[in-house]
Amino acid sequence: MIGIQHISHLVAYFDGVDTALSRTFLRPVPPDEPALTSQLCALMDAETQRREESLRFNIDRLNEAIASCGDDLKFDFRIDTHQHTTKMENLVSQSDLGLVVEYRNFILPEENRIWSYLLQAKRLHPTSPTAGFDEKSIFKSVDHQQHERLLKLSESFGSQFFKYMLYCPPTPHFSSTTITKIRALHTRNLTRPIYDYSGGLALFDYTKSVSGRVDSGIWLTPIEKVPARVLDLHNGAFKDVWSLSWFFLRHLTQPRSFDDQQRHHENGLISKSRNPNGGNDDLIHGVVTGDRHAIEVFCEAAREKDDLDLPVLKVLPRSTITITASVGHSLPGDSRRAFEQA
């Protein structure tokens, strides 16, 4: 896992991505969900960052800052676009996104882990064209029929693999009354006993440094919760709803024992190492990364279990963001391991 010395650099990076995307809500005509997802992919892709100079603190500056810690830790971000066959094309939703978080430790390979997600994107809509964003703003594109199908999929394959990704403007751009209510919800939730391990301690330091004002615009929620109004979203903040930065950081700061304790908890971070007995992890990873055989197995299993109308569901991602953290990548291949393999 990553150390406390790396976290501030990663927060700066992901907060920069969040700010660059969420401030597009301030345009006279804010982008729709496919456009927001496309922009997120562009912001997260290393080559696009360099070419378009879209982030001041980009992947190269992040890796420079991480390298200064002297731990041989490196991050890589890439976007894969999947070319689905004609047979599968009607299962693709352009606003859906795949996400893979991968941790590679060449020194302690037993620590290697992969998390894979299918994300359903929704954006917040203003109360009215003139009123702007306030507590009555809603995620009005939520399809309740689609939500029921997602619930059936999560029951069949595991709720940990499915998330809503909710796009919102930064908190300071809501009405003053709404800002006060969001701050109150954050303050209440951040007083819970959540400051354990390096990630929790870093979250404590972060919220202290920003006076508790977490202004993120990108949030990830469990699939069980139908996103409705903006206050419903922030009611779960830092409980089972996490901003982009801290959703990612929780993966790389929690010890394996924490994952085991939380595996059967609906509101916990759930992950597994990839192995032959890893349940549906390998299957979902294949779906997220566009493996045709995995997609066929997934679709067939879904039809057998729940008789789901998959073309209506639009379950397959057109693009996948892969975030890879590597430790010891520059060491000679024959001397990377700290201990001899048994």
Q: Write the pLDDT tens digit of every residue in 48-62.
A: 999 999 999 999 999
CA distance 135 to 297: 42
pTM score of the predicted model: 0.89
CA distance 313 to 180: 37
Q: What is the mean pLDDT of residues 129-152?
A: 84
Q: What is the mean pLDDT of residues 24-52?
A: 92
CA distance 46 to 212: 31
| C-alpha 186 chain-centroid distance | 20
- What's the pLDDT score for residue 262? 43
Task: Answer for the pair 212, 183: CB distance below 8 angstroms, yes or no.
Answer: yes
Residue 109: strand, helix, or coil = helix
CA distance 11 to 57: 11
Confidence of residue 86 (pLDDT cuts 50, 70, 90): confident
Q: Helix, strand, coil % (nearest 5) of the chain?
A: 45, 20, 35
Spatial CA neighbour of 150 closest among 301, 312, 32, 322: 312
- What's the pLDDT score for residue 256? 64
pLDDT at 259 over 60: no
- What's the pLDDT score for residue 287? 92
- Reading phi first (left if > 0) and then psi (alpha if -120 to 50, else beta), residue 182 is in alpha
